[in-house]
Amino acid sequence: MRIEPVLISYKEPQFKFQVNVTKDKVSLWWPNGLGEQKLYPLYISVNCWLDEGRPQLRAKTTSQKMIKIGFRTIELIEDLDDYGKSFYFKVNKQTIFIKGANYVPAHILPEHSANADKVKHILKSAKNSHLNMIRVWDGGLYESDYFYSLADTYGLLVWQDITFLGANYSLINNFKEKIRLEIRQNIMRFAHHPSLALMGINNDMDNVQLVLPNELTKDINRREKKYRQAFGKITNFEFNALTIKDINSSLLFTTSLPSGLARQHVESPYIKLPNLNFTNAYFWEELWNSDIYPRPRFITRYGLQSLPILSSWKRSISKNDEIIDLITYRQRQFKGLEAILSLIRYYFGLPISAFMNCAESLIYFSQLSQAMNIKTATEIFRSQALHRKTMGTLYWHLNDVWVTLSSSSIDFYGNYKLLYYWSKKFLAPNHVIAVMDDNNDKINVTVTHEGSFINQENSNYKVIVNTYTWMNLYPRKSMKLIIGNMNNGLLTYHLSMSEVFTAPFNTTNSFLEFTLQNQNDSEISRNYLFPGNFQESILPDPKLKIELSLSHCIEGKIPFISYSITTMVEKPALFVSLEIYHPDVERYTLSENGFVQVEPVKVIHLELTAKSSKCINLTSDHVRIMSVNQFIANRSQRNCPTKIFV
């Protein structure tokens, strides 16, 4: 489509035009996993000459720009219902469940945070783990144009915070004008992106103003008045003016996380106490117990710390330093390492003294604890979508700014923690969820269906529930659940504990495997449930062994290197973790990690990114492998386990 040329003067250099496009001429842009991310180029060219009364240029000056746009509608639905007030998104009139993560700057130095390779790796990883939303955290930066273009390409909706972190801001001098300018400049820069879904104005600031008033100043009334003026009038006025009149009438914005009031409530930007039935929320508990988790309408931050892999620490350490000392120094959370160590002690019964001088063990169990926490929480939140009770989760956080203990699923160098590998399964469109309901002595089994799968005939799909003992590789008991009609893409069964665990099986000597299969008995999803406490179970030595073989190596500017790792066991192996350590490896990706192995032989695919253009020769000495079994069998040991690598 071509627009007729328009003549403008440098005296009035702005002009507006409108182009009407019929719906049947374009394809819609969809979030990741729900359809195609169709983008259309928009090309603008301006030819410039000097005015008649001035010296003439020998040739015209041409200024050109091309952007890509997409066609989609987006709505934030906040309606009163039986539970309170809803908080969910509709894209192209379709209700979607948000699966997302918070994004922090990709580097501690702002000038490096827009590195194209780094940003692409992080956002592509988000897409590959089934995320459909990224929240650009207000404590970070406004990201580069490349970031938002990639979000368009990968189908990642962007929840963009204005960069006002939870703090007090004084309206002295020209600060009000700076607020206006910041909002206008940034909205004008990225409002055309179809990925932009929501703008957050004043994250955490209500908490600072209302929850901690006595710790700040005695002049509460004056401070509150100034705050309302800044973030109840200035920012809301600018958003309304820009989104409704000038730029993008569909752009949504919300005030004050976690209280979460959207546009229609901007006249009163506070609510005193967040009510989970009316709002989105944060959650920071550190337990695997499903009964303690809240059921909010939307959860925007929940997380737990873990450590990056060993090779990342070794790239950041001086020759004379000890890794455990660097770990302790870079732990900035007020609880220190206690939050991580207490979980290890509680769930595995392992002595804390065994970890204080053993970085490898601490890294493994910190990542395992983090992955289990986020998996438990996310699966509970997903299962609550049955009645649109909970309609979105954004875990904290996706990436990292440096090598340190943090809640990220991807470390600073782009290597994946166990949480990332697990998230590719528990965020998959079609997934089977099993949650303990101790209060009712039941196991709640939920099947999720998203995207195109929901439109398929599902009456022939089934869930196989297998009971394993810790001593046997093959299931000792099996039962079948037939999938019926879906409600909002979900189906939940309630299994009685007494029905599942019959003699000789109990919660100490057994665990459960849930497999979602199609009509051809092909596996769609697999999940495990461990009903007992690991420290009460007797876990045998699985006799874990590995074999390594080269699959492909194509040298070049960006060499392609892949290996196959075969793991072999004689007994069930719990949370088998592989780590690659080689000085020439920049980063690596495994087909899965932190897995439960109940088959004698399992093949894991490994892809390497090298620091040079040459192939890398890996041996078994470059592969570290751990399982919980090895630690439980030696739980009385006070030092590092003697055999944690093979």
Angular region, 378: left φ>0, alpha ψ -120 to 50, beta rest:
alpha
DSSP-derived letter for residue 183 is: H
Candidate from 77-86, 93-102, 461-470, 503-512 with smallest mean pLDDT:
77-86
pLDDT over 60 at 505, yes or no: yes
Cα–Cα distance for residue pair 562/84, rounded to 1 Å: 52
DSSP-derived letter for residue 235 is: H
Question: Region 620-625: what's the mean pLDDT?
Answer: 93
413 or 286: which leads in pLDDT: 413
Question: Region 521-542: what's the mean pLDDT?
Answer: 91
Question: Region 491-503: what's the mean pLDDT?
Answer: 91
Q: Within a 10 A sphere around the Cβ of 592, how many other Cβ atoms?
A: 14
Residue 262 pLDDT: 39
235 or 154: which leads in pLDDT: 154
Return the percentage of the chain with pLDDT > 70, whole number. Answer: 79
Domains observed in the chain = 74-427 (3.20.20.80), 431-536 (2.60.40.10), 545-633 (2.60.40)
Q: What is the residue-averaged pLDDT of the chain?
A: 83
Question: With bands split at pLDDT 50, 70 and 90, how would you rate the model's confidence at 84?
Answer: confident
Question: Region 376-392: what's the mean pLDDT?
Answer: 88
pLDDT over 90 at 126, yes or no: yes
Residue 264 pLDDT: 38
Question: With bands split at pLDDT 50, 70 and 90, how would you rate the model's confidence at 639?
Answer: low
| pTM listed for this prediction | 0.90
DSSP string, 69-123: E----EEEE--EETTEE--EEEETTEEE-EEEEEE--SSSSGGGTT-HHHHHHHH
Residue 263 pLDDT: 38
Question: Region 226-242: what's the mean pLDDT?
Answer: 59
Find out whether 407 and 419 touch, Cβ atoms under 8 Å.
no
Find out whether 184 and 142 touch, Cβ atoms under 8 Å.
no
Burial 55-89 (b: 16+ CB within 10 A, else e): eeeeeeeeeeeeeeebbbebebebeeeebebbbbb
Residue 420 pLDDT: 99
Residue 643 pLDDT: 40
pLDDT over 80 at 388, yes or no: no
Please say whether the dihedral angle defined by the alpha carbons of residues 274, 275, 279 and 284, taken in this order, is positive or negative.
Answer: positive
227 or 120: which leads in pLDDT: 120
Candidate from 60-64, 116-120, 121-125, 429-433 with smallest mean pLDDT:
60-64
Residue 646 pLDDT: 36
Cα–Cα distance for residue pair 211/514, rounded to 1 Å: 44
pLDDT over 70 at 34, yes or no: yes
Residue 241 pLDDT: 55
CA angle (592 as vertex; 364, 468 as ends), nearest 5: 80
C-alpha count within 13 angstroms, C-beta hemisphere, residue 595: 21
Could you tell me which residues are beta bridge partners of residue 298?
280
342 or 229: which leads in pLDDT: 342
Question: With bands split at pLDDT 50, 70 and 90, how would you rate the model's confidence at 51?
Answer: low
CA angle (159 as vertex; 431, 119 as ends), nearest 5: 85
Cα–Cα distance for residue pair 305/281, rounded to 1 Å: 19
- Distance set, CA 226 to CA 171, 175, 217, 220, 505 (Å): 7, 12, 14, 10, 64
